[in-house]
Structure 1
Amino acid sequence: MKRVIVDYKKLTNEILTLLVEKYPDGYGDDDIIRFKNANNETVEALEVRTDDAVYLVKVSTRLANTMENFDEDEDDFDSEDVNSSVDIPDDSDDDDN
């Protein structure tokens, strides 16, 4: 089984859907996994699993907002969007992970 660390900027609709399904009311401190990366920096992430992979999605305030907005937009779901990525604007003055 492959293990993948994903930044919120690179979330696919599939991973975002898994996150929203696993944490429909948002996530709390108990849901967050903390570990040190190769640069000895602490990383906080949420875990979601598929049949063939474990994804650790880095936590930030942007992730929470993206999950909330995705859940609200789910009613407007278009089957053509299944393989597309979620478009998240890049905000250079964001101090989150």
Structure 2
Amino acid sequence: MKRVIVDYAKLTTDILDLLIEKYPDGYDYSDILSFKNAKGEYIKAVEVRTEETIYLVKISTKLEQTMEDYAEDEDSFDDEFQFNDLDS
């Protein structure tokens, strides 16, 4: 199974759907995984899975706000906005 570390800026609606489904009321301290990445930096993340991939989504205040905004109004969430952020 593939493991992918995802920053909030690279979230897709599919991953957001998984996050909202798994953590409808937000994540708890017990849901947080801590580990070192390949660069030796400590990362805190929450995990969501598909059949092929384990996504480790980095925790940040922006992640929490994005999850709240998306849960409130999925129709106004725009993948194009997310991908344009990557270019900056």
Q: Would you say same fold, with TM above 0.5?
A: yes
Map of 1:34 onto structure 2: 34
- TM-score with structure 1 setting the length: 0.77
Contact 1:45–1:59 (Cα < 8 Å) also in 2: yes
Map of 1:15 onto structure 2: 15
Distance 1:86 1:66, change over 3 A: farther
Aligned-residue sequence identity (percent) comes to 58
Alignment partner of 1:85 is 2:79: yes
* Cα distance in 1 for residues equivalent to 2:71 and 2:80: 13
* Count of matched residue pairs: 84
1:45-81 CA-to-partner distances (Å, cap 9, x unmatched) read: 010000111000000000000000000003x37xxx8
CA RMSD, 1 decimal: 2.1
Provide structure 2 residue ranges, at least 5 long, that are not aligned to the other structure. none
Contact 1:45–1:58 (Cα < 8 Å) also in 2: yes
Distance 1:36 1:86, change over 3 A: farther
- TM-score with structure 2 setting the length: 0.85
* Cα distance in 2 for residues equivalent to 1:73 and 1:16: 12
Q: Please identify runs of 4+ aligned residues in structure 1 that moved more than 6 A.
A: none
The CA deviation at 1:32 is 0.5
* Cα distance in 1 for residues equivalent to 2:23 and 2:15: 12
* Cα distance in 1 for residues equivalent to 2:41 and 2:3: 19
* Cα distance in 1 for residues equivalent to 2:25 and 2:81: 22
Distance 1:67 1:85, change over 3 A: same
